[in-house]
Homo-oligomer: A and B are copies of this chain.
Amino acid sequence: MFLPALMGQGYHERHALYPVNPKMSEVQGLRCYPSVLDCPDPVDHVICQIPRVSVSELVDQCVEKGVRSIHFFTAGFSESRDDEMAAVEREIVLKARAGGVRLLGPNCMGLYSPADQLTFMPGFPREPGAVFMLSQSGSNAGDIVHGLAARGVRFSKGVSYGNGADLRAHDFLDYAAWDPETQIVVAYIEGVRDGRRFFAALRRCAEHKPTIVLKGGHTAAGARAADSHTASLAGSIEVFDAVCRQAGAMRAATMAELHDLVIALTTGLREVRGRGVALIGIGGGFAVLSSDAIAEAGLDVPPLPKAVQEQLREFLPVAGTSVRNPVDASLERGADRDRSHRAYAAIARSEPIDVMFTALGFGWGPSGGLGPGMGSMGGFRPSGGSDRDADDPALRAREQVDELAELQRETGVPFALIQRGQAGADQQLQLHAHARRLAAFPDVERASAAVACLLDWRARRAGLPELF
C-alpha cells in the first residue's frame, strides 16, 4: 500500500480515506475494510491497485456503492497486446458507464489536485497554481510537474490517464477550459482515439486559454514505443501539427520546449511582440554564438540606432567595448546604478528591440578597461582585491534579478535570462526570477525557440481572442 505517496500528508485531514484489503485490518493507522462495499460512508473516488484479474469484480462493487470515479493504477490491459485483457478493458468501461461510474486509466498514475492534497508522486508541490496538466504517461506527468516546479511553476490540477479507456484527452481539455482555477493547459498525448472530439475540445480550450500539446510517438520508432506503452496508434505528426495550428494551440517539439513555453507564458516574456533581440552583458564569444543561435531560431539581433549607441558610449567609454548589439555592458550598483539603469532602459525602448536577453547570475563588475569582455564575466573575473569582491555573489545575483524585473516592469519590454555556468544554474536564483515574472532558460537556443514559438502561435491566432 502506498498511501503516503498517493496522498499528500494533509489529505485525510480534509477528506475521509478508506484503505481496502481483505487481508488487513489496519494500514498506517487507518482502519482497513475488506471491500469497497464495507466502507461506512459514501465513497467518491476509488484508487485501484489490485491485480488485473480482479478489476471486473471491483467495478461491480463500485457501481453498487455509488462511487463516482475509479482510477486504475493497475496495468496489463490493452497495452499488453493480450486480447483477453483488452476485452476486459472494454468490458469494465461499458459496465462502469452503464452504472454511472467514470474511469481513469487503466495503466496510469491518476489525479493530482494540490488544493485537495491529492498527489501521485513525491516532490509534487503542495501549493496550487494556474497550470492544468494532462498526460497519457505517468513518468512524463512526473517530468512535467517536477521539471516546471523546479523553475517556479505551480499547478491547478493534473491527471495521468494512461490507456484512456473511458475518460480521455477531450474530456480533460473540456474540464480545463471550464475550470476557473486554470489559466494555462499543457498536454502530453500519445494517441487520439476520437479525432473529431479531440479537435473540437482542443479548439474550445485553446480559444480562451494558452494550450500546449506535446505529441509522443511522431516517428516510427516513437510510434512503436507508444504502442507498447499505452496501446496508442500514433498518427502523422504533420496532421497533428495542422490540428494544433488550426485549433490555436502550441505544439511543443520536446519536453524541454513544453517546459520553456510554460515559463514564457507565466512571465513577462509572454508579452513579446517581435523578433528583435538585444543581447546584453553576455560576453564577447558567447555573444557571437548566441547571435548565431538567435538567428537560426528565426529571430534577429538588429544593430541599435546611432543615438542609443552614442548614449551607451557615454556609459561604456572603453575602446573595444561593443555598443552596437550585442552590448558589452553590465548592471552597476552604487553611484553608477542610475546611469546603467538608463542605458538598459534606452536599449529596451529603442525601435528595433522587442526582447532583451541577458545572463542570469553573472557580474555586476565594471565593464571593459581590464581586457576582453571582463565586464560580462563577473563570476569568473580575476579577483584582485576590489572591495566588491567581498560581497556575497548570491546576494548580488538576487539584486541583479530585482533590477531586471524593475526594468521589465518600467519599459514593458520583456527579458529572457540565460543561465550561464554554475552561477546561472542556481535553482534559488531561478525561483527568485520566476517569482518576479522574469523568464530564465538554460541556454540561448532554448530561450530563442520559446520566443519564436510564442510569436508563431500569436501570428496564427488571427481571428481568435487575443489572450494577453
Contacts and interface: CB of A to CB of B under 8 A. Distances in A.
Nearest to A108: B372
Given A225-B287, A226-B288, A254-B289, A380 B188 contact: no
Interface centre among A220, A284, A319 (most CB of B within 10 A): A284
Contacts of A4: 382-384
A294 interface: yes
Given A5-B384, A82-B319, A162-B372, A324 B107 contact: no
Contact of A224 (B5, B324, B382): B324
Interface string A1-40: 1111110000000000000000000000000000000000
A5 B371 CA distance: 14
Interface in A351-396: 368, 370-373, 376-377, 380-384
B2 A140 contact: no
B372 A225 contact: no
Contacts of A445: 254, 256
A125 interface: no
A119 to B, nearest CB: 10
Interface string A142-175: 1100110010000000000010000000000000
Interface in A295-330: 295-296, 300-301, 303, 318-320, 322, 324, 326
A319 B224 contact: no
Given A5-B382, A75-B319, A75-B372, 14 more contacts: A3-B384, A4-B383, A5-B384, A52-B319, A80-B319, A142-B377, A150-B422, A217-B291, A224-B291, A225-B287, A225-B322, A229-B284, A254-B289, A256-B445
Interface of A: 1-6, 49, 52, 73-77, 79-80, 82, 85, 107-109, 121-123, 135-143, 146-147, 150, 162, 188, 190, 214, 216-222, 224-226, 228-230, 254-256, 279, 283-296, 300-301, 303, 318-320, 322, 324, 326, 368, 370-373, 376-377, 380-384, 420-422, 443, 445
